[in-house]
Structure 1
Amino acid sequence: MAPNYTDKLRAKSIVVIGGTSGVGFAAAEASLEFGANVVVVSRTQKNVDKAVQRLQESYPAAAKRIRGHTCDLSSEQAEADITKVFDFATENGAHLVDHVISTAGSFPNPISLAEATPSNLVAASQYHFIGDLMLAKVAVKYLQPAYTSSITLTGGAGTYKPPPGWPLWAGVGGAKDALTRSLALELKPIRVNLVSLGAIRTELFDRAMAEWGESAAEAAKNASVLGRVGDPGDVAETFLALMKNHFVTGTINILEGGALLI
């Protein structure tokens, strides 16, 4: 009997925006392990080259299924850059993409209401809302027009339980939730979902904790019912599920270790 589950991503084409580190890199690893062809995307060629090399060293048998390209979702030229990514991924439309995962973003520093300005709202929105909107606008032209295809966005669980100094980020997060549901209708039958993250031990997280101090790292761990922060691999499992489950769209999937219960 042919496999019904393990082969769902075999030979599929997956583009991972922000795929050179953190949860994006884990998504690329997981996709490769399930037989997909992967393009990892980052702002700099250095990051792309390093990630491609790491993946090829970890999965030498899959070396030909790993490629990379640059793109900056925070740029005013984001739409043109995204188009170049998909022209590269599809060899100028010779074949279409099956799945897109967007994990690009910056670690959100608290911005109080008193500090909020139109300019820092636009700056926060560029990565965490506008960039993903432009991504969807371009990606739909290159995705297989079927319910087997998907776009998965990434957000933050602070949207639902905002700490002090979080009105700007909570607002941007709420906008991304609404964008996800709207895109699920707009792009059907292509499926669109959001993975909203609590504390995940990525390179960005470690740098922030080093800056904020040991007490911040301990607080992040204790904020979870499980007494730990998440790993990128935990998030990759959800990305896999959303790509492989062809009956899920418009959903907000919260991965926060139960932090919203406390």
Structure 2
Amino acid sequence: MGSDRPQESPNQDKLARFNTDVPHPARVYDAWLGGKDNFAADRAAAERGLQAFPSTVKSVRANRAFLARTVEYLVSEAGIHQFLDIGTGLPSANNTHEVAQAIVPEARIAYVDNDPIVLAHAAALLRGTASGKTDYIDADLREPDKILQAASHTLDFTQPVAVMLVAVLHFIPDSADPYRIVDTLMAAVPPGSHLVLSHTAKDIFPEEMARFAQTMNKDSAEAVNLRDRDQITRFFHNLELIEPGVVEVAKWRPRSELEASAPAALWGGVARKPA
């Protein structure tokens, strides 16, 4: 399996708070991707989201493709072999460890999420290469110190780490100070580390996205907080942005014109922590 820690059965306290009557972002996202780990409330919310922003599925898929391309870049060109993937979501195609370990089998990945159904699927996320290492951390992004302490069992923080915050920061309201959270995470990793970030946009398809956020926030377990490009670029302050900078996720080093043309309503970027 590639993990030094034994697998544990799902925590019963976690599963006790699992409410299938309330849409949860991880399960709604799964519904958009055509997965089976969702319930009627999630599918209804997914349908409402599609009505507000008909290109939602294409946008979600573009975001997954962005994740795969950034991991490929980090391993192949930046020499990164360690990943802290926060807000993992449900297992899908091209998970971080699959992309990284296909290139470098020794790559190490620490996944972080706090959704009970993701916890139940942790075993799938932990299925890595024999020479690599993967682990799952049950924690909330609002607890960066807890995440870093737990991740130290899997990752070597004296060596560069890629901090992956893909489509998760928009669930952190301004009142929780998302910029402080990102600063705390990046302060803990050494120079040469990278930040990968994508975030639902306020200023791409603005009218549709305003309706989308209003619709999704009616009864969801986690509210969506839209931000514009300048606000999202602020997450990269004190870091060196990698070309092409903060762009629509479909336009971050696309493999084809078809990939580049996807109607993605997220800004994304990759940046390096300087010496």
Structure-1-length-normalised TM-score = 0.43
Structure-2-length-normalised TM-score = 0.42
